Amino acid sequence: MEFSTASAFFADLDKQSDVKIPVWKNELYFQYHRGVFTTQAETKKRIRHTEETLLDAEKYASLAHLYRLPYPQEEFTTAWKGLLFDQFHDIMPGSGIAVNYLDAKRDLNVVEHSGNEILSRSLEELSARIGTQQSGTPVVVYNSLSWPRTDVIEVEAQLPTATSNIEVVDSAGKVVPSQMLSNNAETHRVSFLLQSSAPALGYATFFVRSTAKLTQSNSVLKATPEGLENEFIRLKVDTQTGCVTSLYDKRSKQETLATAETDTGGPKNLPCGNLLQTFVDKPKEYDAWNIDADFEKQYWSLDKADEVKLTESGPLRAVIRVKHHFQNSSFTQDITLYPGVPRVDVNMQTEWNEKHILLKVAFPVSVHSQKATYEIPFGSIERPTTRTTPDEQAQFEVPAQYWADLSDAQHGLSLLNDSKYGYDAKGNVLRLSLLRSPTWPDPHADEGHHEFTYSLFPHGGTWREAETVRQGYELNYKLRSAQVQNHSGVLPPVHSFMEVSPDNVVLTALKWGEDDDAMVLRFYEWAGKEADVKIQLPPGAQSARETNLIEQSLVEQSAGALSFANGSVTVHTKPYEIKTVEVRFAPEARP
């Protein structure tokens, strides 16, 4: 016996010409405990949202630190430790006793509060430096993602006087689309929807003011109880079943839905997208942990709606509400479309009071592919839609992050989520697992109220060409707004602190170094393309170097330092590679 390392072991093995080593080039899919992707959904949701809050807080705190606001390193360390503790064995998987989730809720609320406090201080520091001396109440909309985006955001503002009508203009004085939601005459507070475009990792400033006469804008939204339409999508809903019977992508001129090739239990010969299905879910052992392979043996498809109603038809939001019930539970699906946004959001509210039932939502897609693609941390993976071999048969429930996609070279459908992790794809049917109800070790697991969102993103070409990755991030990382005072400032009304190109990379983290007085950036390549990634840095950047994931330099001294050109640094990046870059700023050059 020789005590050694893995690298030394395999180096020695390579020398053995008579030893033939089998190669497994795939994930190490665990053929067991598939229920942990779904059990204890509220804890999973809190963890997802708290992760996103802390990552956003790090970004804005790092940018504010460039303007000399102290970076709250200890607060972040405490917050991350609190969050990561709740990702521990049996807590995030949902396989613990009931008290685990009471403790996790308390702990995660503390972490969320800490992250929001840091966010508030950081955005206040940045906002104080923006020139906002124009007519109206300034509202700054912040975008934490590394690409420009257009989305609809709900904003609240307090005006100097009461008003019956408002208009919103951008920093150039141009009226932008808005939609009043509420107006409190006593507090002069108005709540409204705003269609905002914000630059990469930056902000845009808008001005809210009263107006005697509303400017009528031509909205691209069309809405009836039978369907919704914007410039990207035309959607039809069957008023009897509540199913989405057509999801037409106007850009690729392709119908996304088709009749299911496998039995979904819905109306025969009818494309039945957004179909809720319930399955008897009684695993032979490890109740909270497992979903058994025969879970489809007994199920119900909720293909008779209690109500289908157009509840909202404004210039910036249109909503069809579909209601269903099953045994002791009720489901409300708000199918929502916005202008300028190429996806359909389904906000779902559920009163869940079941035992040993699994809830899924199904979409038959009009493509033929033997593989579906799923997002995994810092990448994606293909998995079979067929059930031919034992390995394929085992993958009847698989994990994913923000999205799964079923497409061919011409078109497809990406099914996004804001807090779910279990998917399956069989034939042409793509499904997302929504809720479970095991009784051991928590006899009341997941009983009660749930609210979450999943989204439909029909597209032309493959998911790579459609940039599904970006849609997943945009669903999860919302634009943030802050009302500010009218004042002068060194920053312009519209500004990007940092730009990253090309399009096939995502900046996932921007933070201050754990040990060094430097800004740390982390990004990854998602499309399988080698690229020279260019990062346009804030003013004052002095030097940059690559590090590993724990912020240790990859090179001795300065031999591998990255060079600057016109305030930017270029990092050669291989397909699917994760890169970490440390940037130092000259103290005298910081604002």
- The token duo for 354 is 């079941």
Computed from CA positions of residues 325, 326, 328, 331, in that sequence, does the dihedral angle turn out positive or negative? negative
Say what the pLDDT of residue 560 is: 60
* Secondary structure letter of residue 337 according to DSSP: E
CB 137 within 8 A of CB 158: yes
CATH of 137-218+479-483, one of 3.40.50.150, 1.10.1050.10, 3.30.1380.10, 2.60.40.1180: 2.60.40.1180
> Partners of 279 in the beta sheet?
299, 358
In this structure, whether the domain defined by 498-589 belongs to CATH 2.60.40.2220 is answered with yes
Domain spans in the chain, listed from the N-terminal domain onward: 34-127, 137-218+479-483, 222-466, 498-589
Orientation angle between helical segments 73-85 and 98-127, nearest 10 degrees = 150
Computed from CA positions of residues 557, 558, 561, 567, in that sequence, does the dihedral angle turn out positive or negative? positive
Say what the pLDDT of residue 554 is: 83
Say what the pLDDT of residue 234 is: 98
The fold of 222-466 is Beta-galactosidase; Chain A, domain 5 (2.70.98)
Say what the pLDDT of residue 590 is: 63
Same fold for the pair 137-218+479-483 and 222-466: no
Say what the pLDDT of residue 580 is: 97
Q: Report the alpha-carbon distance of residue 377 to residue 41 in Å, rounded.
A: 19
CA 305 to each of CA 168, 288, 333, 431: distance values in angstroms, whole numbers, following the listed order? 39, 30, 11, 19
Tokens 């239990």 locate to: 265
pLDDT tens readout for residues 331-380: 999 999 999 999 999 999 999 999 999 999 999 999 999 999 999 999 99
What does pLDDT average to over the chain? 95
Pick out the chain residues at pLDDT < 50: 557, 559
Q: Report the alpha-carbon distance of residue 350 to residue 329 in Å, rounded.
A: 7
pLDDT tens readout for residues 301-338: 999 999 999 999 999 999 999 999 999 999 999 999 99
pTM of the predicted protein model: 0.96
> Partners of 407 in the beta sheet?
412
Name the CATH superfamily, with its identifier, for domain 34-127: Glycoside hydrolase family 38, central domain (1.20.1270.50)
